Structure 1
Amino acid sequence: MAPPHLIPTPTSMTAVPSSPFRLGAGAAISGDPDAVAALQAHLDALPDAPSAGPITLTVEAGGAAGSYRLEVDAASVTVAGADPAGLFAGIQTLSQLVQSGPDGWSIPAVRIDDEPRFAYRGVMLDVARHFHDVDTVKAYIDRASSLKFNVLHLHLSDDQGWRLEILSRPDLTARAAASSVGGDAGGFYTQDDYREIVAYAAAHHMIVVPEIDVPGHTHAVSLAYPELSEQPVLSEHVHEVVALFGGDLPENGTGYDGMAVGFSSLKIHEEATYDFLRDVFREVAGLTPGPYLHFGGDEALGTGPADLAAFVARASALVAETGKIPVAWHEAGAADRLAAGTIGQYWGFVSPTDGMDDKARRFVAGGGRIILSPADAIYLDMKFSASSPLGLTWANGPTSLRRAYEWGPAAVIDGIGDAEILGVEAPLWTETIRDLAAIDAMAFPRIAAAAEAAWSAPFASTPERTWESFRTRVAGLEPLWTRLGIRFTPVQAGDPS
């Protein structure tokens, strides 16, 4: 059995007949310079900041992408990654293994052979509903990468604000970036800010997936380019959300700080709309070295089915023209002319409703794959308990830690197994999330459940992949999270079951 504090649980782990490795002064960490620096940063966070060694960190080609081997005995520690990403993952495991005892800090004698189940292991941070500055995004990268996530999806535009400087369309940030939900201050990233985020993510072996959400979720665009926007569709749902959460009804040309969705749309039949998207997508693609660009396509309730199909066909083609792989939320799967290879992101429930699974399958039929983000399992903005002051409950909420854990990616959509799944992503929408403390409280510990779904063997396939094992291991990580300054929700408080 894995130690009680190791998450995600590794592929295989065996005890070595040896005393633990003692961390002490005067010894050295050697090997890959970037890996040495990463491990030293972890050890520096320990009380008394011990030196450590002999610890050897190397890249040894030959294993599966992202895999590593970790060996510990009383005399030495070795971490060998099949590639730099695998070595980085091994360092995260090693950092979790460090234990405090009467004789100081030590690492148990073990051998671990480990590799990821899915290539894409993501977290999403919505910076549109509430803006989160560069330092906050970097802190979230620190937290996510420590659990072996390798993708940061940034939701950069929505009804409440546009968050990325576009040089060819300067009015987007000059006129459409100032507000957030509830009348809070807005903000945006300059292109240099965005490059800084991308570089910081790369140093943590994460890529950035930027999302420009169209044709819905575009009320902010109406502040900068009203000629591209339809009038808001004020449905019964919009009136209900305003009645429940307050705020004004949306009106073109006026900033929107409410929480309703589905009322906005770009003009589908205007060529100027596609000229706008071409400019935006080209700049975003040029700033982003990763392979993906997300164009949304969700909750376009103000756009008819035929118009939405026509739009997502053109939008996906415009993304593909930039050299990026298009990604869209599963609703875009209703279109029959998506660009070949477009990736679908499924945000429906663990038990699909309303034909959401059929739309997701369309991406696979078109040569793409699926990212699983079931809202009633790993939407980190759902309340974790009825008494939580933060979060929402629309996704069959509240979502307990146990429910966040007890699901399997390959069991959600019939006919969509591991071969068709690109990966798993845990979104954090920020209608109620204003700062890093709130991010921590909502993400931790449920983010660990998503990490294990993305990295480890299928749920219930091993003794470690059970709720009982996971809950014990999460509780065992709390001292480490405390040392790292993560303001998590304690396991018992966040999951009464």
Structure 2
Amino acid sequence: MNGDLPLVPFPRAVRRLSGGPARLPVTASSPDVPEAVLRRVSGGRPESYRLRSDARGVTIEGVDAAGLAHGARTLAQLARREGEEWVVPAVEIDDAPRFSHRGLLLDVARHFFGVDVVCRVIDAIAACKLNVLHLHLSDDQGWRLAMTSRPDLAARASGSAIGGDPGGCYTAEDYRAILAHAASRQVTVVPEIDGPGHTHAVGLAYPELLAEPVVTDEVRAAVDAYGGGLPVTGVPYTGLAVGFSSLRIGDPAVEAFLDDVFGELAALTPGPYVHVGGDEALGTRPEAYAAYLRGVTERVRRLGKTPIAWHEAGGVAAPGTVGQYWGFRTPIDDAGERARAFVRAGGRVILSPADAVYLDMKPDADSRLGLVWANGPTSLADAYDWDPATLIEGIGEADVLGVEAALWTETIRTEGDIEQMLWPRLYAAAEIAWTPAEERDVRGFTARVEALSARSATAGGRAVSEAGS
């Protein structure tokens, strides 16, 4: 960057391309200042871009549409007000992401959020140069995607949520609207249908598919801590406990159900991935769990999609399955070995260490929102203090597909709650996913976060749709 060159009027073409993530007021360009030059170029890594701004104007070159959009967002983030105009500094930037998968999980099962809210979350993650929205569409508390092949899921299994809050369900048209909005922001949607656990809601619609709840000491402890009552067959579950539900694995009716649900989901979803869950199946015998995960991941492969499963499925999922690690920054029990098993079987891993990028954890002890089971409150410094290439012994840079933050919604009830918990820790996940470790600097990161927060406050904008990285 050369700070001695003149400032450049912020061009309208960049605002159009960037999708308005910063929502900056832009004055008309003067006749002697050109609009930005935006052009595709060959060569370079996917999503990479080159940005040049000087006294002659602005040029953004990208190897693909995502690269052009990232360059435009960077320029929007550089813009600042000078009197009545917005201007950008003279810069030269060559940039590319470290990992191809850079995402956020949004849990719409514990609490349901409508299409408009999900689309604003997509805008927010795109502004951070994240490119994946992982939608957690089913859990013990509710089923959130209507299925033509299984209409009772919407009719009987979607009306509940934690704490007795209203539920909800996306129609196929709603889901397509989310997909279309995501595509317009260069974001891929990864849908998740969890199993064999986290399936209590399935039994509300199709009771013959579900085993009796397994009420363990851990379930009782969760009920004592958070309320919600113990799970009862055929009754909507509105508590926070996990690990008690299971499908009747091996039953032909369950196999037919999985064929219907995953077949329809794969047909609806244009992206390459379908997530099959596999976490916290504490109510399932180990041999039945292994049979289920092998079968469901093979089913997804036959449907032409790449399966993703939580790290517990390592060693039993079909070869080539992507594993998603949700253990701690220092792995405990067999979590690291489970993650390595995906790599040995020809897959890769997505890293979502719970004590770093689970955004539903309290940011500090005084927060009214969030939980603390992942090593207590997770500060911004905790969220930034890890590196994907060294997190798990035996898993190096080439084995990592990417990084994904997660916003589970046990305590998240409103769009305002989403905003409060996303920022600023989502910035940390975004920077870790984009920037090599040797180029990261906690002091510089903190200063940039403070500047972004100040600009968002000055603009009077809502963080969920306006913040950048």
Same fold? TM cut 0.5? yes
Deviations 1:24-75 (A, max 9, x none): xxx763xxxxx763347357x324x423452111111211111000001122
Alignment match, 2:462: 486
SS of equivalent residue, structure 2 residue 431: helix
Alignment match, 1:466: 441
1:348 to 324, 327, 334: 327
Alignment match, 1:146: 127
Amino acid across the alignment from 1:474: V
Q: Check the 8 A contact 2:210/2:245 in 1, yes or no.
A: yes
2:149 matches 1:168:
yes
1:206 to 171, 184, 187: 187
**CA pair 115-421 structure 1, distance change in 2 beyond 3 A:** same
Alignment match, 1:3: none
2:12 matches 1:21:
no
Alignment match, 2:28: 51
Alignment match, 1:492: none
CA distance in 2, matches of 1:487, 1:22: 25
CA distance in 1, matches of 2:233, 2:319: 34
Q: Check the 8 A contact 1:384/1:401 in 2, yes or no.
A: yes
Q: Hey, which bits of structure 1, 4+ residues long, moved more than 4 A?
A: none
CA distance in 1, matches of 2:196, 2:335: 19
CA distance in 1, matches of 2:88, 2:66: 22
CA distance in 1, matches of 2:125, 2:428: 12
What fraction of aligned residue pairs are identical, expressed as a percent? 53
Amino acid across the alignment from 1:481: S
CA distance in 1, matches of 2:450, 2:215: 46
Q: Check the 8 A contact 1:16/1:73 in 2, yes or no.
A: no
Alignment match, 2:293: 312
Deviations 1:219-277 (A, max 9, x none): 00010111110000000011111111111110111000000000000011212111101
Aligned length: 459
Matches within 5 A, 1:61-460: 61-102=42-83, 104-335=85-316, 338-458=317-437
Deviation of 1:334 after TM superposition, in Å, equals: 4.0
Alignment match, 1:11: none
Amino acid across the alignment from 1:112: I
CA distance in 2, matches of 1:70, 1:320: 39
Amino acid across the alignment from 1:332: A
**CA pair 292-266 structure 1, distance change in 2 beyond 3 A:** same
Deviation of 1:479 after TM superposition, in Å, equals: 3.6
Deviations 1:364-383 (A, max 9, x none): 11110000000000001000
2:450 to 475, 478, 481: 475
SS of equivalent residue, structure 2 residue 283: coil
**CA pair 220-40 structure 1, distance change in 2 beyond 3 A:** closer
CA distance in 1, matches of 2:15, 2:450: 28
CA distance in 2, matches of 1:294, 1:339: 13
Deviations 1:86-142 (A, max 9, x none): 111111111100012346321011100000000000111000000000000000000
Gaps of 5+ in 1: 1-13, 30-34, 489-497
Amino acid across the alignment from 2:370: G
Deviation of 1:467 after TM superposition, in Å, equals: 1.4
CA distance in 1, matches of 2:302, 2:142: 26
CA distance in 2, matches of 1:156, 1:484: 32
Deviation of 1:478 after TM superposition, in Å, equals: 1.4
**CA pair 328-468 structure 1, distance change in 2 beyond 3 A:** same
Q: Check the 8 A contact 2:15/2:76 in 1, yes or no.
A: no
Report the TM-score, using the length of structure 1 for normalisation: 0.90
CA distance in 1, matches of 2:138, 2:24: 39
Q: Check the 8 A contact 2:321/2:342 in 1, yes or no.
A: yes
Q: Check the 8 A contact 1:369/1:420 in 2, yes or no.
A: yes
Deviation of 1:484 after TM superposition, in Å, equals: 7.0
Gaps of 5+ in 2: 465-469
Deviations 1:323-363 (A, max 9, x none): 1000000001142xx22210000000000001100001111
SS of equivalent residue, structure 2 residue 20: helix
CA distance in 1, matches of 2:138, 2:288: 21
Amino acid across the alignment from 1:357: G
